[in-house]
Amino acid sequence: MGSKRLTFVLAALACSGLTACASVPAVSTAGNYATPIGTAPVTANPTDYSTALVCLNQYAKQNRIIAPRVAIGRIADYTGKEESDGSGRKVTQGASLLAMTAFAKAGMPMVERFDTSVSEFELKYANNKLISDRPAPGADVPADYRRILAGQVPGSDFYVVGGITELNYNIRSAGVDAYAGDKDTDGLKGNFKRRVFVMNIALDLRLVNTRTLEVVDVVAYQKQVVGREVSVGVFDFLNGNIFDISGGRGALEPIQLAVRALIERSVVEFSANLYGMPGPQGCMQFDPMGDATVGHTGAFVPAYNNLGTNNAQTREDPSRWNARRDPDLRDAERGRY
């Protein structure tokens, strides 16, 4: 009788669950059917080498080094590895973008060569006298067309190309599987599993002189990635009912973050070479009055002379500009300013 009652209860719960899933939820006052879960703030995405990149920038400013201009070319994925379900590549296809951010952290002057579609479009329109610059505020006459000047586009001195060349799975693994239980069919049984595996990813980059096409620097690095998995389970019959309880925990070091770390380490070496920096000992001193427009989030050029009041010092603060976490923003929304 107890078994039939349990079956009935489970069937009723399943029917109610299906009904709830099939029905259309009510629209909230915010105009949405559902509120997405997760309120983690946006944070910086540094690696263990981001601090070194910022140090390079401070070293160059302190010593007034005139750095060469760098362009980032194609840093492709040459591993050829794809997900087994056909959902895409195993490794990021945006390694060139990671390199741009890394050079920006190092304060290295850069020129755009990766995506020039907008510039080429505007150059074409300017050549046909179809584009004008914004007129001065309050001006009654329209702005004149934009003129094309010889030499207005600065060239690069060096450019970086290369690729992600290795992705090796399970270069080492270890694990333990344990199972114990009563020899009786209805007795208590349990299992325990623990696994650790290691894989690696490698990168090869080269720095090329733009004018002569000489390869002036080459860097090849690899980084190992570790994963862990632990699980435990219990199986038993109680009063004619089956109980199967299991739990586990697993973690895998992010592969794409490993690619970022590889690129940042490579850019540290390239930039130290271009700056003529002796090594990490150069980080012992830096200009405390520097403008601090470079950090773990990247770098920027101030639009106005407002270094003392802008947000250069707060870009890495996860609470800034967050509607839930920044008290200044909440007060502004409530009209307290």
Q: What angle do CA 202, 203, 205 make, to 5 degrees?
A: 160
Question: Which of 113-122, 136-145, 274-283, 319-328 shows the lowest per-residue confidence on average (mean pLDDT)?
Answer: 136-145
Report which of residues 290 and 123 the model is more confident about: 123
pLDDT at 21: 56
> Of the ranges 19-28, 284-293, 319-328, which one carries the lowest mean pLDDT score?
284-293
Domain ranges of the chain: 304-337
Q: Residue 245's closest CA among 229, 227, 232? A: 232
What tokens does 70 get?
A: 């760098």
* pLDDT at residue number 249: 66
Q: 205-226: per-residue pLDDT in tens?
A: 999 999 999 999 999 999 998 8
Predicted local confidence at residue 124, as pLDDT: 93
Q: How confident is the model at residue 204 (pLDDT cuts 50, 70, 90)?
A: very high
The reported pLDDT for the residue numbered 160 is: 97
Looking at residue 238, its pLDDT comes to: 61
**Residue 335: what pLDDT?**
60
Compute the distance between CA of residue 135 and CA of residue 141 in angstroms, rounded to an integer. 8
Q: What is the mean pLDDT of residues 165-171?
A: 89
**What's the chain's average pLDDT?**
82
Selected residue with higher pLDDT from 142 and 204: 204
Question: Using 50, 70 and 90 to split pLDDT, how confident is the model at 137?
Answer: low
- pLDDT bracket for residue 307 (50, 70, 90): confident
Check whether 152 has a pLDDT greater than 60.
yes
Question: What pLDDT, on a 0 to 100 scale, did the predictor assign at position 19?
Answer: 54
What would the mean pLDDT of 299-319 be, rounded to a whole number?
77
Give yes or no for residue 251 having a pLDDT over 70. no
CB 188 within 8 A of CB 243: no
What pLDDT does 7 receive?
58
The per-residue pLDDT for 9 is: 58
Q: Using the predicted structure, report yes or no on whether residue 305 has a pLDDT greater than 60.
A: yes
**DSSP structural state of residue 289:** T
Q: What is the DSSP string of 197-245?
A: EEEEEEEEEEEEETTT--EEEEEEEEEEEEEEEEEEEEEEEETTEEEEE
Closest CA to 267 of 114, 94, 96: 96
Percentage above 70 pLDDT, the chain: 80
Nearest CA among 149, 153, 130, 132 for reference residue 141? 132
Rounded distance between C-alpha atoms, residue 194 and residue 192, angstroms: 7
User: How much is the average pLDDT of 275-302?
Assistant: 74
Least confident of 104-118, 127-141, 282-296: 282-296
Q: What beta strand segments (E) does the chain contain? A: 70-77, 158-181, 189-209, 215-238, 241-252, 294-295, 298-299
In which residue are the tokens 């160059």 written? 60
* Mean pLDDT within 248-271: 87
pTM of the model: 0.77
The C-alpha torsion from 56 through 62 and 64 to 70, rounded to 10°, is: 20
Per-residue pLDDT tens over the stretch 2-47? 555 655 555 666 556 555 555 677 887 778 888 888 888 888 899 9
Most confident of 14-18, 148-152, 158-162, 270-274: 158-162
